Each structure stands twice: as structure tokens, then as C-alpha cells.
Amino acid sequence: MTKPNLIKRLISFLRPALTPKMLARQLRQPSGKLGEAVGKKMNESNAYLYDFVFDAMKIKDNQNILEIGYGNGMFFDKLFSIAENLKVSGIDFSRSMFKTAQKNNEEAIVSDILDLRFGDCDVLPFDTDAFDKVFCINVVYFWENPMDNLMEIHRVLKPGGKFYTGIRDKDSMNNMPFTQYGFAMYDEESWKTQLVRNLFSFEETFITEEPPIEFNGEYFTPKSLCLVAQKPL
């Protein structure tokens, strides 16, 4: 679960090395030692959202699942613990995170239950109609052309397969100073519009409030969403 003061701790941990603009760049595509530090801290800030999205996904035995933007890959063990005989794939466009995630998941990779790729999700290196479920958490802010990414996700989902988008609401993101540098932020309706425009059938939205976070001496409670869309049969 997310801990109080997490965002403030993330900023203070990296000062004075990172300005908000530099932090935004690292959150988008972690690299080097600073990227490794950001990845570890974001495991803490995203843990609540991973639990929230996994609950929404209702994962069943024998499903084929794709994560877009897996970071350092520390949540795959939790995913495998939910159901039996899962086949999980992932893609991330940070080479640093790709290498770290490989090290963190060596046993699953050798066992051929986890397939990790390096690359961008606007051209996915997976077969058409391959996955029962696709999900991403705090990733869509960085997509320059969401149509390309969503069309690829639509392609690799099986007919009837579902796509789960975990995001923090636009108003919550506006409280964080680094989001002014290259973040595309969404509320429920604006992301729903993106999904429907790109051939998905919108299913439902799950909404939660995360535990209080302190930033610059002020507390706020992020509103987070998991929007569920389906590739029509």
C-alpha cells in the first residue's frame, strides 16, 4: 500500500541531483543509477495501484497477460501468486529497467512463464489475438500518440479480451510539480473517449482514494482510476 509522505520522500531522496524537470524525464524513461533509484522508489508509490488494478482484473488460471511498462519488474511475483498456470509477457522502453527486470525475474524467465521485451508499445512484438488481458499502471501519461498505442493493444488482445488502464486522476496529478514536464493527464471521461475512439468497447471504471500523501507540506489524497475496456467479439 502507498505510504504517507511518499512523494515528498521521493523528491527529497533525489535532491539535489534532480529538478522536477529531470525527475519527469526519469519517470518517463529511467536510465543510469538515478533511474534505478527512481524505479525502486516508484515501487513503493505504485504498490497500492498494483493491488487495486489486480483486484479489478479478476485474473483466472491459464490466462495470457501482458503488462506495458513493467519498470524493474518487482510486481510479477504478486501477479503469478493470484492464479495458476499464467503466461505473462511485458514490454518497457527503458533499457535500464529491462535489464534490471531480467535480473529480478531470472527464475520465471528460465521457467518460460515470463517473457520480457525491450521496446515501445506503439509497435508490439507479439502476435495478433495473443492475450486475454493487457494492463498498464501510470504509463499512458507518456504516450505521445495514444491512438498508435491503443491500436496495437487492440491488435494483440484476443476477441473479448480486456485492457485495464491504471492512472491517477488529472486533478491529483496536477498537485505534483514534475507533471508539468511532458505528462499528458486524463480524467475518467477523457480516457474513456480515447478508448472508444480506438475500437474498444468501454466496460466500467473502478475508483479509489489512495492513502494521504504529503507534498511540500500539504496533504492530499490521490484519486485513482482503473478503466476497463474490451476488444469486441
Q: What is the pLDDT along the chain (233 residues), one digit of tens a residue?
A: 444 455 555 444 444 455 666 655 555 555 566 556 665 666 777 889 999 999 999 999 999 999 999 999 999 999 999 999 999 999 998 898 899 999 999 999 999 999 999 999 999 999 999 999 999 999 999 898 999 999 999 999 999 999 999 999 998 888 776 666 668 889 999 999 999 999 999 999 999 998 876 544 556 678 999 999 999 99
Domain assignment present for 185: yes
Q: Count Cβ atoms below 10 Å from residue 197 Cβ, excluding itself.
A: 11
Domain that holds residue 96: 6-230
Task: Classify residue 39 by its DSSP letter.
Answer: H
Element (H, E) at 203: strand 201-209
pLDDT, residue 158, reads 98
100, part of any domain:
yes
CB 206 within 8 A of CB 229: no
- Cell 517473457, residue located: 115
Do the domain assignments include residue 1? no
> Would you tell me the crossing angle of helices 32-57 and 20-28 to the nearest 10 degrees?
60
Domains: count for the chain: 1
Residue 14: the pLDDT is 43
Is the residue at 159 inside a domain? yes
Q: Give 46's contacts (C-beta < 8 A, 6+ positions apart).
A: 71, 75, 137, 138
CATH at residue 25 = 3.40.50.150
pLDDT confidence of residue 5: 53
